[in-house]
Structures are given as C-alpha cells and as structure tokens.
Amino acid sequence: MKAIIALTQTLLLLVLIQPISANSNLNHGYTTQARTKVKVLIAAQFEIGANTGDRAGEFQHWYERYFLKTRAIRVPGAETPIYCNNEGICGTVLSMGKVRSSSSMTAILLDPRFDFSNTYFLITGVGGTPPNAGTIGAVFWADWLIDYDLGHRWAPQDATSDTPTFSPRKGYEDVRLIKLNPDLVNWAYQLSNSTVLKDSPSAASYRSRYTQKTALRAPFMGVGTHIAGDTFFHGPGLSAEANYIAELYGASPYVITEMEGIAVAYVIGKLLSTNRIMSIRSAVNFDQGNPQETTLEHLDPEPGNTPGGFEIALQNNLAAGSVVIDHIISKWEVWQQGIPKYKKHTSSRNSSH
C-alpha cells in the first residue's frame, strides 16, 4: 500500500511540474538539443511584404543572399522568425522603433536554442542623412550610437534667442550613447571601402536640388554617428540640435538618422557585450528640405519629388555589409577568438568631411 501511495505521489508531482517546465521562460518548452552556434546575426528593422519575390524592404536582399534554403524559426517574444544557414549566419527582422526592436532582440538572445557567445552582430537598415554629411545611396558604418530622445527638451518659443532647446538628463549616461569597438569599425570600413556602390538617375536628379557639396555627390562609404529617435525629425533646426547632442556627448558628427540602433545595441551589451556589434545604414532621404521647399513640403512631397534612392540604398547596404560578413566567416578560426588588431588606422575615414 505504501508503495502504491508513493508511486501515486510521484506521478502527481510529475504532472504538476510538467506544465511549469514546458512553459517556463528558461526553456520555452523546448527539449534538450544541440544549440545553434551563431557566428553572425543580421538584424534588419522592417520588411515591406514577403522576404522574396516582391518589393524589397531592409531584409529581403539579405534573405535572398543567405537564407533562401532555410526554414523559419519562431522565437517567443520576437516580432518575426529568425533564419539560420549552414555557415552559422542568422538573420531576422526586429521591427521598427526602439521598443519593438529591443524586445525582439531580447527574446532572441534569451532563446536557449541559440549560442551567441561568439556572435558578431550586424544592425542594418536605411535612414536619413543631413545634406552636409551624406547623400542618397551613401552607406555609413557607425562609430557611435546615440539616443536622440533621452534628455530635457522644450519649445523654441520658450527659450532665449539662439540657445539650445535640449539638455541631457542625469542618470542616462550609460544608456544614451554607445561607442562601438574602434577596431571592428575600422575593419568594417577598410574591408568595404572599395565597394562599388550603385546610383540611379532619379536619385541624381533629386540631389541636384541641394546646394551642399556632399549632397551632390554620388554614393560613397563613410563612418559616423547613427542617432536614433522614435520620431522622424526633419528640418535644419532639429538637424542642428542632433549635431549639438552628438557634440555634447563627445561623439562624432551624426551622419544617419534612424530609430533602433542604440536600443538594440544596449540589449546586446546588457546580455553579452557591445564588443562585437556593427551598425551599417544607407541613406534613403535627406533629413531636411532643399532651399526651394519648406520642411513640411519636404515631409509630404508632391509626386515626382521623392528621393528615388530607396532600392539603390538597399542594394548598397547589402554590397558593403556582405563583404564584411563573408570575410569574418571565411576567417572564422581567427575571428572566433576575437577582433584582430587592424594595423593601418586612418584618421579620415569619412570622405564627406
């Protein structure tokens, strides 16, 4: 009888424990299996439709290059699936904005099916650029990531003449900016600097409306600060404020406006390290109008007045970023151990300045 009671208690205990184990946050209900060792994770921010076969968003060209023969892996808490090929390269769409992108990255990093202990992270996407620093189709590696939103801000009419309308808030020092690994940034730029970038007649025509020398240039490679905000800020006034923030924080001048980078990198840094993070963005628009249009006209352009560089920017992003990914994978026995010291450092990597 005692044996029967003991057996009954054991079975009952197993029944009670099983649902907790199967749905716990630690293992998501997955059985024990070999973890996928991720060498590179490509993190785009949005896709327009499907991953292939229609108008491309930020992920489609990456998917078509690396993941056509892979299966979708659902990750609880992530906005979209993750895809992994046999070379150890994985990719996903995090979704736009700091909240959705960072929550997706958190879910992915905590999924026990993946091993990110030696992973290089490529945050990729498109963005805006100031016409004195970039041009339509240009591609920029980030050396700094900045949060545009964190701080105190007030309306210009509430300030005295010609004074800043922003000040940093104490307590955000470790959240508002991240300096990316200089050796990795230098490697990425040097490996990709000779990439042949595409241009288009429509983008060239749109550029011709601007007066800044850099805005008139064909697409080029560069390095600078990516500044992220949850609002699409436009106009020379807010551009000046963004540069003021970058200077205030001791970062390089901003070259890209976007919505996710600092948040995604912060999550990676909290759970792993920021040492192996790269951020590559290509410019699809200027963050302010030309001399013949107002800021509101620039925000809501008439037909035919759009930049016309979306597709070339996506293709240039892939062309430059894939060079670095392919190099890391081909030399994995070296890069797995850490970032090699790059012997030749240049003091002027961004030819726009």
DSSP string, 224-250: EEEEE-SS---SHHHHHHHHHHHHHTT
**What is the widest separation between alpha-carbon atoms in the chain?**
93
Q: Where are the domains of the chain?
A: 34-335
Task: For residue 42, give the H/E element and its range.
Answer: strand 40-44
Task: For residue 129, give the H/E element and its range.
Answer: strand 120-129
Comparing C-alpha atoms, which of 46, 41, 71, 66 is closest to residue 56?
A: 46
Torsion sign, CA atoms 256, 259, 262, 268: negative
| Residue 4, token pair as written in the block | 């029967």
Neighbours of 190 (CB within 10 A): 16
Predicted confidence at residue 18, as pLDDT, reads 37
The model's pTM: 0.88
N- to C-terminal Cα distance for the chain? 86
Predicted confidence at residue 171, as pLDDT, reads 87
Angle at 37 between CA 110 and CA 191, to 5 degrees: 105
Predicted confidence at residue 29, as pLDDT, reads 52
Buried b (16+ CB within 10 A) or exposed e, 311-337: bbbbbbbbbbbbbbbbebbeeeeebee
3-state secondary structure of 155: coil
Give residues with Cβ within 8 angstroms of 35, minimum separation 6: 112, 113, 114, 115
Read off the amino acid at residue 272: L
Block residue for tokens 């997706």: 104
Predicted confidence at residue 6, as pLDDT, reads 45
Comparing C-alpha atoms, which of 214, 205, 212, 213 is closest to residue 134?
A: 214
Predicted confidence at residue 112, as pLDDT, reads 97
Predicted confidence at residue 257, as pLDDT, reads 98
Local confidence pLDDT in tens for the 353 residues of the chain = 444 334 334 333 333 333 323 333 444 555 557 899 999 999 999 999 999 999 999 999 999 999 999 999 999 999 999 999 999 999 999 999 999 999 999 999 999 999 999 999 999 999 999 999 999 999 999 999 999 999 999 888 888 877 888 998 888 888 999 999 999 999 999 999 999 999 999 999 999 999 999 999 999 999 999 999 999 899 999 999 999 999 999 999 999 999 999 999 999 999 999 999 999 999 999 999 999 999 999 888 877 778 889 999 999 999 999 999 999 999 999 999 999 987 764 444 554 43
Domain at 34-335: CATH code? 3.40.50.1580
Reported in sequence order, the residue ranges of 236-321 that DSSP labels E, i.e. its strands, are: 254-258, 277-286
Predicted confidence at residue 156, as pLDDT, reads 86
